[in-house]
Amino acid sequence: MNKLQSINGQVTKELREIINKQLLPLEADLGVTFDLGNARYSDDSVKFGFVVALENALSKTEKDLQEHLTFRREVGWLVSFDQDKIADLDNMKVSLVGYKPRATKRPFIVQNLKNGSEYVIDDKLAEKLFGDNTIGKPLREETTWDHIIY
């Protein structure tokens, strides 16, 4: 790459590739992983988010899942989950692998154990698949209107 005159989207992509190539040998030597996150650039500068983590460190969604499961156990009014449970979803064996707190409609991430594909599911389906009625609140029952007298 020649000396830079200005910074734009294409230059930012090229810089990311160069930096990643330079960091790759360091990962193995140090036993860490480098994650060059989102980039913000102007005409004369670029700023990357940068994370250094141990090789065996949990991902953000895995950490968020652990925190959410702890929260569910402690509050008592939410259905607790059994993270070790393997559930059937559309003829797939899936396990609970992550949580996205900012995703309001489908925050839970499940992984197909056969091929490693990941899918997102909502609270209700997660409770149905992974709910543990031995801890915390019992599983939600389906609402019926038969008992209401008009």
The CATH 2.30.30 portion of the chain extends over 60-136
Dump pLDDT digits (tens) for 22-73: 999 999 899 999 999 899 999 899 999 999 999 889 999 999 999 999 999 8
Give one DSSP letter per residue of 57-115, joined into a string.
Answer: PPPHHHHHHHHHHHHHHHHSSSEEE-TT-EEEETTEEEEEEEE-TT-SS--EEEEETTT
Q: Are 73 and 38 in contact (CB under 8 A)?
A: no
Percent of all residues in the chain with a pLDDT value above 70, rounded to a whole number: 87
Weakest-pLDDT range from 49-63, 108-122, 129-143: 129-143
> Residue 95: what pLDDT?
96
Which residue is associated with the tokens 């259905």?
Answer: 79
Q: Two tokens at 48?
A: 């990357």
> Residue 138: what pLDDT?
52
> Residue 120: what pLDDT?
96
> Residue 149: what pLDDT?
53
CATH T-level assignment (fold) for domain 60-136: SH3 type barrels. (2.30.30)
In this structure, the strands spanning 46-54 and 79-81 are unpaired
